[in-house]
């Protein structure tokens, strides 16, 4: 069991920043990727235009693993501007045009927003063999530019869905190219998989199957996400009667942010991307993870409800199948076994407490 905590200053590795490059592919990957960057900006006190807020801490150099400072000489709030280390790719322009005109349009560098003119039409073959293949070289060139701007890249995070055409087809091409060009670098994928009962695309099961064949070989860790499971969490726990994709994306952003927090903040157990693979993957091809987030409480219930939760309560809630971000119809809490577990604690507690509750 690997327990990672993200609090308390640690000066041992302040100077060393190991960059992580994010690649968002396709409509789903881009839209929930935007929610992730909005979450990062909140956590690091950065405005939507990339400028630090007044309470920004200039000593917080660990954020440079995900953000690129435009003025490297001065890191104080008055003279700084931060840009995400991200490449955004889609085969048609609608979703990327929303970024170019949206609230975070000044956060992203326009050079790293890439779109083609013809989409994959929810077809893996179009995304992988025809339209996608025409755009893979331009995508690789943008990734190369970002890596050249970095001192010591530790790995890549890929946001995409495997039920559509671009996320599955072009996503597989990008992962294949990364495996060739950056063989030693870790690749962690956050994949939105088709839901058991909700299906906006009739052929998404086929797209997902073909994409999974590539993910087996080309990602080190894949975190599986599922819209249906998140819809249920929103309706049951947050009392949202009709959840929108915006609501779903924010829950996904919380989960992604919690996993990357140990890369973005100094702490007692600040880790690098290789450690996720080391701790979680028993066999190289068996690397598809079930993610969970706890506690999920609505504002309507009041903050006192949150304060009354103990470490035991939060741990139990995280292991409750109702908290999983993947829908399992036949999961048995008593009979099913965990091969590996990573708990990322974003609360003030001792490691021994969490270990103790896990063994209970």
Enzyme catalytic residues: 275
Residue 181, C-beta contacts closer than 8 angstroms, at least 6 positions apart = 140, 143, 144
Instruction: Tell me if residue 7 falls in helix, strand or coil.
Output: coil
Tokens 């504002």 belong to 299
d(CA 244, CA 303): 24
Tokens, residue 237: 């726990």
How many Cβ atoms sit within 10 Å of the Cβ of residue 140? Answer: 17
Cα separation of 179 and 283, whole Å? 18
User: Is the peptide bond preceding residue 280 cis, with omega within 30 degrees of 0?
Assistant: no
CA nearest to 19, candidates 244, 257, 260, 243: 260
Reported as type and span, the H/E element at residue 261 is helix 245-264
How far, CA to CA in Å, does 346 sit from each of 6, 7, 234, 290, 350? Answer: 6, 8, 21, 19, 11
Quick one: which H or E segment has residue 213? Answer: helix 204-218
Residue 169 makes CB contacts below 8 A (sequence gap 6+) with 120, 123, 124, 125, 126, 127, 128, 129, 132, 207, 210, 211
* Rounded CA separation 125/43 (Å): 39
**CA neighbor of 254 nearest in space, from 297, 307, 287:** 297
End-to-end CA distance of the chain: 14
**Pairing of β 113-115 and β 153-161:** unpaired
């Amino acid at each position: 069991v690997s327990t990672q905590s993200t609090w308390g200053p640690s000066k041992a590795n302040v100077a060393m920043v190991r960059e992580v490059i994010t690649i968002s592919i396709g409509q789903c990957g881009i839209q929930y990727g935007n929610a992730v960057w909005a979450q990062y900006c909140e956590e690091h006190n950065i405005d939507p235009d990339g400028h630090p807020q007044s309470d920004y801490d200039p000593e917080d150099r660990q954020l440079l693993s995900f953000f690129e400072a435009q003025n490297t000489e001065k890191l104080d709030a008055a003279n700084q501007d931060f840009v995400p280390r991200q490449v955004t790719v889609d085969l048609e322009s609608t979703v990327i045009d929303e970024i170019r005109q949206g609230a975070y349009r000044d956060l992203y560098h326009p050079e790293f927003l890439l779109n083609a003119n013809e989409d994959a039409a929810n077809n893996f073959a179009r995304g992988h063999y025809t339209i996608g293949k025409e755009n893979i070289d331009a995508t690789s060139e943008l990734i190369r530019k970002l890596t050249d701007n970095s001192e010591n890249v530790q790995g890549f995070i890929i946001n995409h869905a495997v039920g559509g055409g671009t996320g599955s087809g072009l996503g597989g091409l990008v992962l294949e190219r990364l495996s060739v060009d950056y063989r030693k670098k870790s690749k962690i994928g956050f994949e939105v998989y088709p839901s058991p009962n909700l299906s906006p695309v009739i052929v998404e099961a086929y797209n997902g199957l073909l994409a999974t064949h590539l993910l087996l070989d080309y990602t080190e860790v894949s975190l599986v996400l599922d819209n249906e499971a998140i819809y249920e969490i929103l309706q049951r726990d947050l009392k949202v009667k009709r959840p929108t994709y915006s609501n779903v994306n924010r829950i996904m952003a919380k989960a992604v942010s919690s996993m990357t927090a140990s890369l973005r903040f100094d702490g007692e157990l600040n880790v690098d991307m290789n450690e996720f693979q080391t701790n979680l993957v028993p066999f190289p091809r068996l690397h598809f993870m079930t993610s969970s987030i706890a506690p999920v409480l609505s504002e309507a219930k009041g903050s006192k409800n949150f304060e009354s939760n103990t470490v035991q309560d939060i741990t139990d809630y995280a292991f409750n199948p109702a908290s999983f971000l993947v829908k399992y119809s036949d999961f048995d809490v008593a009979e099913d076994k965990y091969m590996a577990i990573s708990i990322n604690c974003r609360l003030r507690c001792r490691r021994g407490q969490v270990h103790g509750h896990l063994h209970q």
